[in-house]
Amino acid sequence: MNKTINLTLKIWRQKDRSDKGRFETTPARDISTDMSFLEMLDVVNERLTLEGREPIAFEHDCREGICGSCGTMVNGRAHGPLKGTSLCQLHMRHFKDGDTLTIEPWRARAFPVIKDLVVDRSAYDRIIQAGGYVSVNTGSAPEANTLPVPPELAEKAMDAAACIGCGACVAACPNASAMLFVSAKISQLALLPQGRPEADRRALAMVRAMDACGFGNCSNHRECENACPKEISIANIARLNREFLHAGFISHET
Amino acid sequence: MRLDAKIPAGPLAQKWDRHRFETKLVNPANRRKYSILVVGTGLAGASASASLAELGYDVKTFCIHDSPRRAHSIAAQGGINAAKNYPNDGDSIWRLFYDTVKGGDFRAREANVYRLAQVSNAIIDQCTAQGVPFAREYGGLLANRSFGGAQLSRTFYARGQTGQQLLLGAYSAMMRQAAAGRVHLFPRREMLDLVVVNGQARGIVARNLLTGEIERHAGHAVLLCTGGYGNVYFLSTNAKACNVTATYRAYKRGAFFANPCFTQIHPTCIPVHGTYQSKLTLMSESLRNDGRVWVPKTPGDKRAPTEIPEAERDYFLERKYPSFGNLVPRDVASRNAKEQCDQGKGVGDTGLAVYLDFADAIQRDGKATIAKKYGNLFQMYEKITGDDPYRTPMMIYPAVHYTMGGLWVDYNLMSTVPGLFVLGEANFSDHGANRLGASALMQGLADGYFVIPATIGGYLAGTRFEAVTTGDAGFADAERQVAEQTRRLLSIGGKRTVDDFHRQLGLTMWDHCGMSRTNAGLERARAVIRELRAEFWRDVRVPGSAADLNQSLEKAGRVADFMEFAELMVLDALARQESCGGHFNEAFQTEENEARRDDQNFCHVAAWEFTGEGRDPNLHKEPLSFENVQLTQRSYK
């Protein structure tokens, strides 16, 4: 079960936003196959530190696939080779002794690189601010069971709500589109009766904010769905398009 | 100094109403003149930010992550309790109150816990209205499940991602206020000191984690919503950024730290499997609804679990606690797992694990039903361990999960520093010596949505504020100290990494101040911690500079505080010569190895006062009086 492997990392190093950046080759030795990908990077960083070099900056926090902090391209794939898995949940047993891994940050105009593998994803927060909520002040909510929600709708809403905001969909998309992220939030709230009153305004505002942040358009490559660690379906994008068209043509919202 | 909890007079059920009536209000037009600094954006911080901004206060909110949505509340799995009594199984506010006080082994304040139970129902209403996709029954109404320490179903849930959904609800409410210009967000900031002016909390000093700049922020009140300190053990289920720095620095500025030795060891975590391991992963307690915990009856039995016949298995929780079975509270379940492993009956490579078996549930309800309830947890387990829990039992072992201790607060959630409020896991208030499952989410949101909006007005309206600016001496002094520590950390250039020190500190704490404690072990731990701390400041190596994103430097500052804080935990554990809840001193146990309280001498909150570097802190005691529940030996038999 537990064995160790040796790897070669070709890893992106970039000092700051203005630095051009470059690949650096460094070994990852005696890596237990039970380690997570991030634990492998920890081991490399411990070595770099003791060698008097700067460790690789990478974002991480919960290390159980829910906070959405982590994520890099591994051999050209967002979050690495395993489907439905964020980088922190990817274990080294999925790699072979002697493998070379190319590790890069998310690449997108709307996600500028800050340092090494760390990017600026604040665009996502700006999109949510534009309308990713139900306007209900604390204290003004009705009794929870006054509004029944058919379980199949609640389940679909939950499927969409599972988005962790990691940015893999943008990184995987040839157009760096954020449609999967935006559609997940719009779908969750459009499916639930609580979200309906603001659905038109929300769809228009969030799509506008997405455009303003510099994300590209969706041209149905489906790479986002494939890269998503929570396997959010592109059916949500279809729903976003319906919501957006409805809002644009039929509603009074502008 | 006498600790005054400011518990309102009158019958328990009327205290909160009465208190709200007697508390001064701030005129809506005046609220915008008050600036509130909120540190942390988990359930408590996000819900407080949103609610205070809705009331009209000027809110500045700080978070350590790139986005407030990533706070560690997001990782809570199982659910949130409320006394709705939808299943008609006998629940009530009183019962939720009673279960929580009893679950905490009678070391929490009655009045606080009762209020928590009172507002629990409004939390469910609020979250549902925000679009939190709670699980539903066929008719479209909300579903409930059972959790440890209760014999009924009062837990609301969104698959195994309840924390995520509740946090995103609170986050979105806060973002709505940010869009309206009433919440000013400061992401990627780490609070490094509290600024106290004329005895009042009037600001914070924070490091911009991208530029390294030390920033000064002034306000009329500071809310710490910075979570728990479980990462003092290095290995825990906490996210990597969780730390004690904000609360510990506040302690050094005069806020008392209460019950620091009360730590929750969660029974169902994936066992440790290597020295490189960076964190532990929880498997939700909800699994104990259907999973059966067992070990082989014979010590050293190395057969595969499926080859061990029924007659040779010991379902030890069901055997010892027939009425609660696998759903005993967390501290009881954890201690029993340890006891079995200590007897040599542990399973797996390390012998430090017990089985959590779903075979019976799958046979009874079918694989599809079990997958619907726990699918994502089973998947996560398989990803980490490479084993399929549909076919072979899970292996679990207890791990550090939550800390009941925290900064001391009164009924208004205000600490011993006027103007410094503490919410959620960062305070000590509601869970006593052991927190029941699905109660952390309830408390974080109760504090943020409903308690602080009602209590902060009383402080603001009843206090005279001098004009304070960030140019004042208090800010300069705090900034100088922070900059000095940074300079020192970067200049040592020793031979050991921060993680190396942290790991060693964690092991010491786990061995001596973990699931079971002895006086000798605690004394030893204290000495080891002191040596290790001295060595840290002599031999740590922190690469990089202070003027950009430097994750090693961030960690070093947090570990430096853990090194001091660990000693406070040990002191507290030594001072509490009894066992209660998660604090188990081997010298104090019943014949059946349950925690034996000493209500005569220790029915109090231990609140520690900082007295200066290198000096022992002062212990203050807040007596706990129980007027509505009877103190009994907890029994889950």
Question: Which residues in B328-393 belong to E strands, given as ranges?
Answer: 354-357
Q: Which CATH number fits domain B29-262+404-616: 3.40.140.10, 3.40.50.2020, 3.50.50.60, 3.40.50.2300?
A: 3.50.50.60
Q: How far apart are the first and last CA of chain A?
A: 60
SS (H, E, C) B582-628: CECECCCECCCCCECCCHHHHCEEEEEECCCCCCCCEEEEEECCCCC
The total of structural domains in chain A comes to 2
Taking residues A13-25, what's their average pLDDT? 97
Please give the full DSSP string across B538-568, using - where no structure is assigned: HHB---S-SSS--HHHHHHHHHHHHHHHHHH
> Do B158 and A150 make contact, defined as CB atoms within 8 angstroms?
no
Does residue A31 belong to any structural domain of this protein?
yes
Facing A85 at nearest CB: one of B50, B171, B383? B383
SS (H, E, C) B195-245: EEECCEEEEEEEEECCCCCEEEEECCEEEECCCCCHHHHCCCCCCCCCCCH
Q: Which helix (H) or strand (E) holds A119?
A: strand A118-119
Chain B CA closest to residue A130: B179
Measured over the CA atoms of residue B627, residue B628, residue B630 and residue B631, the dihedral's sign is negative
Q: Which helix (H) or strand (E) holds A233?
A: none
Does residue A254 belong to any structural domain of this protein?
no
In chain A, which residue ranges form alpha helices assigned H by DSSP?
Answer: 37-50, 122-131, 151-161, 168-172, 179-191, 199-212, 223-227, 235-249
Which tokens go with B360? 């019976």
DSSP one-letter code for A55: P
For residues A126 and A245, membership in a common domain is answered with yes
- Please check the confidence at residue A1 and state whether its pLDDT lies above 90: no
Give the residue among B504, B479, B483, B502 at the shortest CA–CA distance from B552. Answer: B502
For residues A218 and A147, membership in a common domain is answered with yes
Per residue in A72-117, pLDDT (tens digit) is 999 999 999 999 999 999 999 999 999 999 999 999 999 999 999 9
Which tokens go with B634? 């907890």
Which tokens go with B416? 């011993």
Identify from B190, B383, B450, B495 which residue to disrupt to test chain A contact, counting A C-beta atoms within 10 A and taking the largest count.
B383
Number of residues in chain A: 254
Residues of chain B with CATH 3.90.700.10: 267-400
For residues A17 and A96, membership in a common domain is answered with yes
Q: List all residues 6 or more positions away from B11 whose beta carbon is below 8 Å from its beta carbon.
A: none
- In angstroms, rounded to a whole number, what is the distance separating the alpha carbons of residues A141 and A135? 10
Per residue in A136-169, pLDDT (tens digit) is 999 999 999 999 999 999 999 999 999 999 999 9
Provide the shortest C-alpha distance from residue A5 to chain B (in Å). 14
What are the chain B neighbours of A60 within 8 Å (beta carbons)? 240
Q: What residues 64-83 of chain A have any CB closer than 8 A to a CB of chain B?
A: 64-69, 82
Q: What is the predicted pLDDT for the residue at B374?
A: 86
- Residues of B forming the active site: 330
What are the chain B neighbours of A35 within 8 Å (beta carbons)? 274, 276
- In angstroms, rounded to a whole number, what is the distance separating the alpha carbons of residues B282 and A64? 9
Last residue of a domain, one of A70, A85, A115: A115
For residues A219 and A239, membership in a common domain is answered with yes
Q: What is the predicted pLDDT for the residue at B275?
A: 87
Q: What is the predicted pLDDT for the residue at B425?
A: 98
- Please check the confidence at residue A2 and state whether its pLDDT lies above 80: no
Give the residue among B438, B401, B377 at the shortest CA–CA distance from B237. Answer: B401
Give the residue among B429, B403, B425, B451 at the shortest CA–CA distance from B47. Answer: B451
- Between the alpha carbon of residue B331 and those of residues B292, B556, B579, the distances in Å are 17, 31, 11
Please return the burial class of A40, using the count of CB atoms within 10 Å of its CB with bins 0-12, 13-18 and 19+. Answer: buried
Q: For residue A134, what is the domain's CATH number?
A: 1.10.1060.10
Helix, strand, or coil (residue B537): helix
Does residue A42 belong to any structural domain of this protein?
yes
- In angstroms, rounded to a whole number, what is the distance separating the alpha carbons of residues B630 and A142? 36
For residues A140 and A110, membership in a common domain is answered with no
In one-letter notation, the amino acid at residue B338 is: K
Facing A151 at nearest CB: one of B140, B185, B543? B140
> Do B67 and A147 make contact, defined as CB atoms within 8 angstroms?
no
Provide the shortest C-alpha distance from residue B328 to chain A (in Å). 26
In one-letter notation, the amino acid at residue B388 is: D
For residues A209 and A93, membership in a common domain is answered with no
What are the chain B neighbours of A62 within 8 Å (beta carbons)? 70, 72, 74-75, 239-240
In B465-550, which residue ranges form alpha helices assigned H by DSSP?
Answer: 473-492, 498-513, 519-539
Q: What residues 110-129 of chain A have any CB closer than 8 A to a CB of chain B?
A: 114-115, 118, 120-122, 124-125, 128-129
What are the chain A neighbours of B125 within 8 Å (beta carbons)? 141-144
Which tokens go with A201? 């305004």
Chain B CA closest to residue A1: B386
Chain A CA closest to residue B448: A138
For residues A110 and A152, membership in a common domain is answered with no
- Which is more confidently placed, A253 or A167? A167
Q: Which helix (H) or strand (E) holds A229?
A: none
> Do A139 and B159 make contact, defined as CB atoms within 8 angstroms?
no
Q: What residues 160-189 of chain A have any CB closer than 8 A to a CB of chain B?
A: 161-162, 164-165, 188-189
Q: Residue A63 in contact with residue A88, Cβ under 8 Å?
A: yes
Helix, strand, or coil (residue B610): coil
Identify from A47, A48, A59, A61 which residue to disrupt to test chain B contact, counting B C-beta atoms within 10 A and taking the largest count.
A61
In one-letter notation, the amino acid at residue B257 is: F
Q: Residue B263 in contact with residue B405, Cβ under 8 Å?
A: yes
- Chains A, B: CB contacts within 8 A come to 218
Facing A136 at nearest CB: one of B129, B164, B210? B129
- Please check the confidence at residue A209 and state whether its pLDDT lies above 60: yes
Last residue of a domain, one of A81, A115, A149: A115
For residues A109 and A12, membership in a common domain is answered with yes
> Do A129 and B176 make contact, defined as CB atoms within 8 angstroms?
yes
Q: State how beta strands B420-422 and B221-224 pair.
A: parallel
Q: Which CATH number fits domain B267-400: 3.30.930.10, 3.40.30.10, 3.90.600.10, 3.90.700.10?
A: 3.90.700.10
Per residue in B318-369, pLDDT (tens digit) is 999 999 999 999 999 999 999 999 999 999 988 999 999 999 999 999 999 9
Q: Which domain holds residue A172?
A: 122-249
State chain A's mean pLDDT as an integer.
96
Which tokens go with B302? 């190395």
pLDDT band at A254 (very low <50, low <70, confident <90, very high): low
Residues of chain B with CATH 3.50.50.60: 29-262+404-616
Chain B CA closest to residue A209: B179
> Do B240 and A91 make contact, defined as CB atoms within 8 angstroms?
no
> Do A151 and B138 make contact, defined as CB atoms within 8 angstroms?
yes
Q: Which residues of chain B have pLDDT under 70?
A: none
- Please check the confidence at residue A51 and state whether its pLDDT lies above 60: yes
Per residue in B164-209, pLDDT (tens digit) is 999 999 999 999 999 999 999 999 999 999 999 999 999 999 999 9
- In angstroms, rounded to a whole number, what is the distance separating the alpha carbons of residues A93 and A81? 12
Facing B86 at nearest CB: one of A1, A61, A145? A145
Q: Residue A103 in contact with residue A80, Cβ under 8 Å?
A: no
Which tokens go with B101? 């006080």
Crossing angle for the helix pair B245-252 and B551-575, to the nearest 10 degrees: 60
Provide the shortest C-alpha distance from residue A6 to chain B (in Å). 15
Last residue of a domain, one of A62, A97, A115: A115
For residues A110 and A74, membership in a common domain is answered with yes
Q: List all residues 6 or more positions away from B321 whose beta carbon is below 8 Å from its beta carbon.
A: B328, B332, B636, B637
Identify from A42, A124, A138 which residue to disrupt to test chain B contact, counting B C-beta atoms within 10 A and taking the largest count.
A138
Tokens 């990533």, located at residue = B70
Give the residue among B154, B137, B42, B31 at the shortest CA–CA distance from B443. Answer: B42
Q: What is the predicted pLDDT for the residue at B25?
A: 97
Facing A32 at nearest CB: one of B50, B136, B276? B276
Q: For residue A29, what is the domain's CATH number?
A: 3.10.20.30
Q: Residue A61 in contact with residue B72, Cβ under 8 Å?
A: yes
